């Protein structure tokens, strides 16, 4: 009998404990979250790339002969026009070669004039049969030889004159002088850089553009560049050149942007972030903060009958603060959790507040 009452008592206690557990499970409060409806929105695809600013025209002025700096007409940072004097050098060897070539050319010119006149005279006499063919051919050969000598002396003179003229260096384009570090009295060797002239009226930026958007850009299309060296200042630009041939390694296409540099604030060599619009599309979007990443996978939580359901998604273009998403498990109008994500797990009961 005692065993019977003991068994009943144990059964009551067990049932009582289970009841408490069930009761405890029932009173677990749902998690407070904020949701919003997934919407379809037109977004702008854009390519962001880093590059370096390059002046529209940039000419390095290299010395072709050795020389000594005797005069400076400009200094770094000064504006010049094409043909303006910048540096004058002196080199006795170059000057002597020029003067010698000039004298030799005058001599060859005089000889050619004489042989030309003699040849013409003997050609007339030969036509009248007043001189022999031997005499005529002799003067013809003299004329031919003097003509060849003149052309050779002329070529040497032009080369010598070019070297001599380059001792007085002028700007080969409009722009601003840079890299001018020589001083009066400095000896410079052949091939040394004397100075650079950069045309800052327009800056060029080259970016490697992906093939998937290649058909969405056109010459003259608008773009934007951001210059980090100027505190992130942005400038309007345009598509200046499109290379239709992909790089064999990267499989991307070189696109050149032109940036009007009206105030000359962008300098050659500054770092640039270029943004190139590449078409518009209607896609599903959610706030960026709604997308979580774990183990290289992106996912969101959507509300399904008062329960949080984790859905793996593929994220796409970002038009901050919204981001493109795609998944076979979601559609427009579904509600996505945008706040209260910390500690939220798949299957958790949720109490939502709809964000306006």
On the question of pLDDT at 9 being above 80, the answer is no
Q: What CATH number has the domain bearing residue 152?
A: 1.10.287.470
Q: List pLDDT tens digits, range 88-105.
A: 999 999 999 999 999 999
On the question of pLDDT at 28 being above 60, the answer is yes
Q: Which of 280, 305, 326 is the last residue of a domain?
A: 280
Give bridge partners of residue 44 from the DSSP assignment.
280
| C-alpha distances out from residue 146 to 74, 118, 215, Å | 45, 12, 64
**pTM score over 0.85:** no
Q: List pLDDT tens digits, range 142-197.
A: 999 999 999 999 999 999 999 899 899 999 999 999 999 999 999 999 999 999 99
Among 203, 156, 158, CA closest to 176 = 203
Q: What CATH number has the domain bearing residue 294?
A: 2.40.420.20
The total number of structural domains in the chain stands at 3
Q: Judge whether 320 lies within some domain.
A: yes
In a 3-state reduction of DSSP, which class is residue 15? Answer: helix
**Residue 25: pLDDT band by 50, 70, 90 thresholds?**
low
Segments forming the whole domain that contains residue 314: 28-43+282-354
What's residue 142's pLDDT? Answer: 92
Q: How far apart (Å, rounded) are the C-alpha atoms in residues 196 and 60? A: 4
What's residue 352's pLDDT? Answer: 84
Higher pLDDT, residue 153 or 352? 153
Percent of the chain with pLDDT over 70: 92
Average pLDDT of the residues in 303-325:
91
């Amino acid at each position: 009998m005692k065993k019977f009452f003991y068994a009943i008592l144990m059964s009551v206690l067990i049932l009582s404990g289970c009841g408490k557990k069930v009761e405890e499970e029932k009173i677990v409060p749902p998690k407070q979250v904020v949701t919003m409806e997934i919407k379809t929105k037109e977004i702008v695809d854009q390519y962001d790339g880093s590059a370096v600013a390059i002046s529209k025209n940039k000419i390095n002025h290299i010395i072709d002969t050795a020389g000594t700096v005797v005069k400076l007409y400009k200094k770094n940072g000064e504006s010049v026009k094409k043909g303006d004097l910048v540096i004058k050098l002196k080199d006795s060897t170059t000057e002597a070669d020029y003067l010698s070539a000039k004298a030799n050319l005058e001599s060859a010119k005089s000889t050619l004039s004489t042989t030309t006149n003699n040849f013409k005279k003997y050609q007339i006499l030969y036509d009248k049969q007043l001189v022999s063919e031997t005499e005529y051919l002799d003067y013809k050969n003299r004329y031919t030889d003097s003509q060849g000598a003149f052309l050779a002396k002329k070529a040497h003179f032009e080369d010598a004159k070019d070297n001599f003229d380059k001792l007085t260096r002028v700007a080969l384009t409009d722009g601003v002088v840079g890299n001018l570090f020589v001083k009066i009295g400095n000896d410079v060797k052949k091939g040394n850089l004397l100075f650079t002239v950069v045309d800052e009226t327009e800056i060029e930026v080259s970016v490697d553009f992906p093939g998937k958007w290649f058909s969405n850009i056109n010459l003259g299309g608008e773009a934007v560049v951001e210059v980090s060296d100027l505190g992130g200042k942005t400038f309007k630009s345009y598509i200046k050149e499109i290379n239709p041939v992909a790089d064999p390694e990267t499989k991307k296409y070189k696109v050149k942007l032109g940036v009007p540099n009206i105030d000359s604030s962008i300098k050659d060599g500054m770092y640039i972030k270029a943004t190139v619009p590449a078409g518009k599309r209607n896609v599903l979007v959610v706030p960026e903060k709604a997308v979580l990443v774990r183990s290289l996978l992106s996912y969101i939580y959507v509300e399904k009958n008062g329960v949080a359901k984790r859905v793996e998604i593929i994220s796409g273009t970002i038009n901050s603060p919204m981001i493109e998403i795609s998944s076979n498990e979601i559609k427009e109008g579904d509600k996505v959790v945008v706040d209260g994500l910390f500690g939220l797990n798949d299957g958790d009961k949720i109490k939502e507040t709809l964000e306006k």
